[in-house]
Amino acid sequence: MKSFNHFEDLKRKVETLLSEDRYSFSDEDKALLRIILAELEDLSNQGNGIPPDTLLRIISLLLRFLSFFGVDDIDKLF
C-alpha cells in the first residue's frame, strides 16, 4: 500500500507541473510529462495486483524523468 501512495503523490506533483502557469515547458517537455503522468496513472491503478513487469516499467519511468531533467547519461550521476 505504501508504494501506491508514492505513485499517487508523484502523479499529483506531475499534474501540478502540467497545470500551473508558473512553469514554462517546451512542447517536447510537456509531451514527456504527459507520458510520465499516463504511466503513473497506470501504475497507481494496479492496486495490489502488481504485474511481473512492474520493475521494468518503474525503471523506464525513472529514465524518462532523468531525460526530462536533462540527464541523458546515467554515468553523470555517479
Mean pLDDT of 38-66: 76
In single-letter form, the type of residue at position 59 comes to I
In single-letter form, the type of residue at position 77 comes to L
Q: What is the pLDDT of residue 37?
A: 87
Strands (E), 1-78: none
Which pTM does this prediction carry? 0.60
Q: What percent of the chain has pLDDT over 90?
A: 0
